[in-house]
Structure 1
Amino acid sequence: MAFSQDDFWERMGLQEKDRTTCVETVRGRYDGYHVEKFEYQGYCSFTLLLSPQQGHIVSEVGFQSGAHIRASEVAEQLIVQIRPAQHALDLDTAWAASRTHSLVAPMVRTLDLCLPGDLCAYEMNRLEGTPVSRLHPHERSIGVEIREKQRALITSFTNFIAQSWPDVASKKRRDSVLRPDSPSNEEQTILSLCTGKVGSCIVPKLQKLAEELPDQWLRERAQTTLDKLRVIDDYPVVLNHGDLIPSNILVIKETWEITGLVDWAEAEYLPFGTCLYGLEYLLGFLQPASQELDRPTFVYYDNAPQLQAKFWTTLLDLVPGLGGRQEEVRLMRDIGVLLWHGYAWDEGTIDRVVDEVNDGDELAKLRAFLSNS
């Protein structure tokens, strides 16, 4: 199969010959598989789909990760993802994701391949499903059939969120501040357990937002959120998906039940609920600037309040340990909204506060999501 030049290679400062080398190297490694470019591509990676050729027995290529072993005779479709070193996957985090969310997170292993440009390669099992981003309507009022699918989507999304609460994931005491993999230590605090790229600088990042966001209301929200965080010292720190957007949520096309969550590259241990900015994406859509709109606007569906209420009701049913702590979860959700949409991506540097000139889409989501809390 012929591969066309992809923006990924230009962004990474690589050339067409580098892409060809990567594809041919993967083909050479996976004898008995048909290798082609995957339909869904991410911004920071190039993804290949590997399908076992009919009648060919795959003798050596099989997925192994910890206690998970897939027999080579039962060949499945695989994904091979090629990433630059700056966007490499953390295998400990990937393993934690597949352990906590075994039905929706892929198993991942590193491939020992000689690739150009310090590129890394990973093998993972293919997760079936269609990205929600391809199914979401872009109109405020929607029909009965889509509303039913939205309710199924919210239910399965809530199940995913609930799985990471310590009472559910690891049977720890309800008021534990500990990560599921941490030994008990009464002197540990929430922020001391957040050691990743985002978690290690939550306070200074919120402080910067409180000083530099482009309007007073946003700055005050950031400051209020930081003030509330500082008085909490007893709250679970769990694995949060780091990019919980519709294109990373796979569903059954006919029902919208979640079948998989992809792109765990930015996942890290953060307070439970930090990734709940992802719920907002399921409640509406971004309407770009036009002749009628002078700037982008995030529009909520007419039934968004009912869907949001369903999420919280279902979450409280699934996680009895949340009783009386709903406001804390909402606070962590606001922290996630501020950190994920208050900073510009800028090729992964994520240290520039968004502004009106360059970041209209992010500001539209930031204002809408914080107003909907």
Structure 2
Amino acid sequence: MRRNSAGWSRAMGCEGGTSPFPLSISTTLTSTPTNSMSNSTPTRHGFADGYLEFCMMLLRNVYRECKIEEFGEQGFCSLTLLVTHVTCLRDGGLMSEEGGPGSGDGLEGSGCKELVVQLRPGQHALDLEIARAACTTYRCLAPKIRYLDLKLPGGLHAYEMQRLRGTPLSRLRPRCRTLDSDASKKLQRLIADFASIIAQSWSTSSKEATLSRNARADSPMNDATDMLPSCTGRVGSSIINRLRKLASELPDWPLRNRAQATLKAVCGMVGYPVVLNHGDLIPSNILVDEDTWRITGLVDWAEAEMLPFGTCLYGLEYLLGFMDNPLSDGCLQPGGHAVFRYFDIAAELRELFWMRLLDAVPELDGRLRDVKVMRDLGVLLWRGFAWDEGAIDRVVNEVDDAEELVYLRTFLNTS
């Protein structure tokens, strides 16, 4: 979920005939590569002794005449590598004969000199259907990907990805409440683009599907809304149980009460659209043009799911402020006190977001209350559960999850 994403012919460790051309995204598509593999990489990503060296050998055979290096920033669930042609592009790209390494038919046919390869353990493999849906829904904001049918050890999977242009917003975001005119204009452009991105999913929503009651027999749907059978992902298929868990286990009464109220509202909602929601819509996964702050891409769709429209609106809050005195590893340091601070113009920016969203999707005007319920649902699901190396089933507490609770309380106390 979060925390810090054509055919191949048999060739040099790569096997298989023609395969689909799936689409997806990486967590670290734009970070700076390091000069060599770090000593911590195999341990951090679960590689057994010798796995990394063997994988690199296969990749060097696939990407001949290319430099392969580790990115400077890495997600927890993957190892991301940058592949760069060391001399110049020939034959239109980095891919080769009949769609294999070196031909112009692949991701690099457009003339790009770089691509990304990501290695992922089996438990964190990408859902290629979701990946395709990301490109269908968000078009050029989601980069192309194809599965590399390599014989990797330990159940590892390899994916080749297009490298998107842009800089992670997390590197540019102001860290003061009062902004100058230039920063204010950049934020306005950012918020307007964000509203347009949210609106894009509405046109591809599964409204018809939400009117069906073909629930799975093992789903706790006896008291749930008619849209939830369309939410079949890891989080979506357990929304009701997760809200119940939050309503009973969150650390204080106001939070438990908010979870209970959200549960009641979700269970009473009918005919509401289900769309593809990004699984980790935070500043480090939003790429922007450094000069204008127009959004150029969204990365890390690994945890994306079909969820009720608006579930990812927790992402708006990150654009309206910043964490002051960040916590270390999610825990308060002695005497420390972390606060999420909104920019002085946050109210104006929030109003701009809703105005742009309603301009793009006028039919939302009569369902704004429902959209805001789903926004609360997203905040509760994404900040009410601890990451725990991907387990996402433990409710946050005051001792272990101070940072999560700062976000949770702040985001739920605004509108």
Query: TM-score, length-normalised on structure 2?
Result: 0.81
Moved more, 230-239 or 75-84: 75-84
2:75 counterpart residue number: 42
Which residue identity lines up with residue 13 of structure 1 in the other structure? G
Closer, same or farther: CA 292–141 of 1 in aligned 2, 3 Å: farther
CA distance in 2 between counterparts of 1:292 and 1:193 reads 46
Q: How does 1:1-373 map to 2 (within 5 A)?
A: 2-5=35-38, 7-14=40-47, 17-52=50-85, 53-57=87-91, 58=94, 59-60=96-97, 72=109, 74-165=111-202, 168-169=203-204, 176=207, 178=209, 185=212, 189-287=226-324, 288=326, 294-373=336-415
Q: Does the 8 Å contact 2:275/2:308 carry over to 1?
A: yes
Closer, same or farther: CA 74–274 of 1 in aligned 2, 3 Å: same
Give a deviation string over 1:326-345, Cα, whole Å, max 9, x none: 11111001000000000000
CA distance in 1 between counterparts of 2:46 and 2:137 reads 36
1:5 Cα offset (Å): 2.0
Q: Does the 8 Å contact 1:63/1:70 carry over to 2?
A: no
CA distance in 2 between counterparts of 1:272 and 1:55 reads 42
Closer, same or farther: CA 33–75 of 1 in aligned 2, 3 Å: farther
CA distance in 2 between counterparts of 1:186 and 1:55 reads 53
SS at match of 1:339: helix
1:63 Cα offset (Å): 9.1
1:18 Cα offset (Å): 2.6
Q: Which runs of 5+ in 1 are unaligned?
A: none
CA distance in 2 between counterparts of 1:70 and 1:365 reads 38
CA distance in 2 between counterparts of 1:63 and 1:197 reads 34
1:187 Cα offset (Å): 6.8
Q: Which runs of 5+ in 2 are unaligned?
A: 1-33, 216-225
CA distance in 1 between counterparts of 2:176 and 2:403 reads 18
CA distance in 2 between counterparts of 1:136 and 1:71 reads 31
2:21 counterpart residue number: none
SS at match of 1:309: helix
Closer, same or farther: CA 160–38 of 1 in aligned 2, 3 Å: same
CA distance in 1 between counterparts of 2:214 and 2:123 reads 34
Q: Does the 8 Å contact 1:207/1:222 carry over to 2?
A: yes
Moved more, 113-122 or 196-205: 113-122
1:76 Cα offset (Å): 4.2
Closer, same or farther: CA 245–14 of 1 in aligned 2, 3 Å: same
Number of residue pairs aligned between Structure 1 and Structure 2: 360
